[in-house]
Amino acid sequence: MFRLEVAKIERVMRKAARRRRSVRRDLAPEILIGPANSAGQATTWSKALQKGGTTASSLRIAADDDPGWYLTDLKLERTKWRNYSARIEFGKQFVEDFDGLLMESLRPLFALRDKNDTSAVRAKEDLQLLRRCRIKTALVFHGSDIRDTKAHAAREEFSPYRNPGDPQILRRLQERAEITRSVALKLGAAGYPLLVTTPDLFLELPTATWLPIAIDFDTFAMAGNQSPAFNETGPLRVLYQPSRGWLKSHEQIEPVLRNLEHEGIIHLVRNDPVEHANMPSRIASADVVIDRFDGITGVLTAEALACGRAVIANVSHWAHAKAEIIAPVHHATPLTLGEVLHALASDRQLLRSTVDANREFVRTWHDGRMSAERIKRALKL
């Protein structure tokens, strides 16, 4: 009986998609990116597409108590989404409103064939249904959603997966990523375009295309211009704001920073959680921003460089073997962080001299234009 019900729902969705195509034959396509909005990227990519003339929206399926650090165009509370009738209505509405989907992290949108399972297997069925509806689809992955944590720990000396604060969290992360990776490889072999935002993920998905993260370049550049950095006197102002502490090596980093602050070499600026709208001013309150030590750089690096700040991160060779570019950061590990900060504090003229070049790097790769072009190419728009 349940299978008959699902088949009926799918017929309704296909009919609605055909009706939409018939009445919108000469109109530009509308794209949805979601449902994770990881680091606000779905929203930033959507805005970049809009600037280029493609209608796009971001979606986040979020916990009911989600703090909403990042803005999103569409938000669906998880409690409501878990209601099967609500998912059916969402599926019908989706095919009436959109012509394409960039699915994040293989998280399902409808999961019509199982009322309780929200794994990547259900996301695969969503994609197959949308293909039958002749809606264009592609997949994007951000990092721990698909990363092989055991292989990462073997390659990277400072991998956070070697000594996690909570082994149970890591175990659940590993299990979900293993399923997601397996399904993604099968979908890639079946012709679904695969995109990744960090170069180390080419080890998981060798046929993927790099999709650069995107930021609001003008906003961060303006914030930096309004608050000059690298004063000749006083401690170097340092921002270390890990979004998830154990993944960003806080247990190794914070003691080093506290010692340097005690010596008067640096001053740690405020780093309590803030909405993303307040990040430009938060970054502008520092001279140096510390990103991550797992071998790659993230959204924070691009934002800080656009703001005219120096960035410290661990850039591992193995993680960038297939990278198109490497961000102009000051390389350090938890073992060398102290000496790197000492050197930067004593040569602020060097920091000032690199601001323009660093900003041009971000403008070229991360202001959204290149990201929009690669999304359109993946969706064959």
pLDDT at 27: 73
To the nearest whole percent, how much of the chain has pLDDT over 70? Answer: 96
- 243 falls in which pLDDT band (50, 70, 90)? low
Q: Which of 342, 347, 321 is nearest to 332 (CA)?
A: 342
215, two tokens: 């930021």
- Which helix (H) or strand (E) segment holds residue 85: the answer is helix 84-97
Mean pLDDT value of segment 328-347: 95
Give the C-alpha separation, 19 to 14, whole Å. 9
Alpha helices in 264-354 (DSSP H): 279-284, 299-306, 337-345, 348-353
For 243, the 3-state DSSP assignment is: coil
Confidence of residue 1 (pLDDT cuts 50, 70, 90): very low
Is residue 308 classed as helix, strand or coil in its secondary structure?
coil
Position 309: which residue type? Answer: R
| Per-residue confidence (pLDDT) for residue 2, from 0 to 100 | 56
Residue 3 pLDDT more than 70? no
Task: Please give the pLDDT value at position 354.
Answer: 95
Alpha-carbon gap, residue 170 to 177, rounded angstroms: 10
> What value does the mean pLDDT of the chain take?
91
Residue 23 reports pLDDT greater than 90: no
Higher pLDDT, 36 or 17: 36
Q: pLDDT over 90 for what percent of the chain?
A: 73
Segment among 6-15, 100-109, 352-361 with least mean pLDDT? 6-15
Preceding omega of 35 cis (within 30 degrees of 0):
yes
The alpha carbons of the chain give a radius of gyration, in whole angstroms, of: 22
pLDDT of residue 245: 53
Smallest CA-to-CA distance from 203 within 223, 221, 184 is with: 184
Maximal CA-CA distance, the chain: 75
* Domains of the chain: residue spans and CATH: 2-212+369-378 (3.40.50), 217-366 (3.40.50.2000)
* 146: CB partners within 8 A, 6+ apart: 105, 106, 177, 180, 181, 184, 196, 201, 204, 205
Inter-axis angle of helices 84-97 and 2-23, to 10 degrees? 20
Give me 91's structure tokens. Answer: 């599926």
**pTM score, whole prediction:** 0.93
Angstrom distance (rounded) from CA 195 to CA 60: 19
Does residue 143 surpass a pLDDT of 70? Answer: yes
Q: Distance of CA 32 to CAs 173, 242, 294, Å?
A: 26, 29, 31
Segments of the chain assigned E as strands: 30-34, 55-62, 74-77, 100-104, 136-141, 194-196, 209-210, 236-240, 266-268, 288-290, 310-313, 330-331
Closest CA to 301 of 356, 255, 366: 366
Which of 65-69, 78-82, 292-296, 368-372 has the least mean pLDDT? 65-69
| DSSP-assigned letters across all residues of 166-211 | -HHHHHHHHHHHHHHHHHHHHHHHTT--EEESSGGGGGT-TT-EE-
